[in-house]
Amino acid sequence: NCIVVVVGDFDQAELERLARESQLPTTSQPSPGAFRDVYQQLKDEGATEILSLHVSEKLSGTLASARQGAQQVEGVRIETVDSESATLALGLGAITAAEAVADGASLDEARDRVLDQFARTENFLLVDTLEYLRRGGRIGRAQEMLGGLMRVKPLLAIQDGVIVPVGRVRTKKKAVAEVIRRTAALGSIEQLAVLHSTTPDEAADLAGRLGENAPGAPVMQGQVGPAIGVHVGPGLLAVVAVLSPDSAEA
């Protein structure tokens, strides 16, 4: 059977139920027509310029669809941006863009501010297993770890838009400690976010511990949506850290 749902009409609990079925749910990017319709609606509402931020082109075909959709709308300037990232890193970028525009920035200035932030953003992913990433085709260089994993917890990062392995430990407790150590080693942090797929209490604990090492940095918390959850499986913890400009240049 094939069930097609749109993100926003489908929650994580339903995804977890389907994940227990014999065939794992899959995802697909929105069609160019879907982007065209959104851009056209924004134009009809009075927009003359649109800044459109997207998940890494190396992880999804979403950006390609957005670019094709943009070509079908005339009379409005549409800038599509590859975040080379995923999850809440895009949300933080959208907030920065909105703040820039509210401050009077032009589209070019807002885009450049967002690109600068994306360049200063680090992503760590702690997953219980690589199986979901492998089955979803998003495993990237982490494929190298599959043969020797046994019962270890893989620690991953998103670098240059792809998922790469950066470490492996024997227990989740040690994995969390390693995420905290690596995040602290980044230097001065401007913003933090912690995400989970099924474990809000673990995410809250991790957020509190990270916040102790980054005084003054706001720490957001959230749950990944089904489009991400299907590729990481239950038990995910993810950290998004935006470095201060000084730390990024060091």
As beta bridge partners, residue 221 has 194
Report pLDDT digits (tens) over 198-250: 899 999 999 999 999 999 999 999 998 777 767 777 888 999 999 999 887 76
Indicate whether 12 pLDDT > 60: no
Report pLDDT digits (tens) over 37-93: 999 999 999 999 999 999 999 988 999 999 999 999 999 999 999 999 988 999 999
Q: How far is Cα 88 from Cα 121, in angstroms, rounded to an integer?
A: 11
Q: How far is Cα 148 from Cα 145, in angstroms, rounded to an integer?
A: 6
Domains in the chain: boundaries: 32-119, 121-249
**What burial letters (b/e) apply to 113-143, b meaning 16+ CB within 10 Å?**
bbbebbebbbbbbbbbebebbeebebbbebe
Return the sign of the alpha-carbon dihedral for residues 5, 230, 83, 185.
positive
CATH topology for 32-119?
Rossmann fold (3.40.50)
Enumerate the H helices of 25-87 as residue ranges: 32-44, 62-70
Top CATH class of 121-249 equals alpha beta
Report pLDDT digits (tens) over 149-181: 556 788 899 999 998 889 888 889 999 999 999
Average of per-residue pLDDT values in the chain: 86
DSSP assignment of 140-202, as one string? GGGGGGGGG-TTPEEEEEEETTEEEEEEEESSHHHHHHHHHHHHHTT-SEEEEEEEESS-HHH
pLDDT score at 153: 82
Indicate whether 141 pLDDT > 80: no
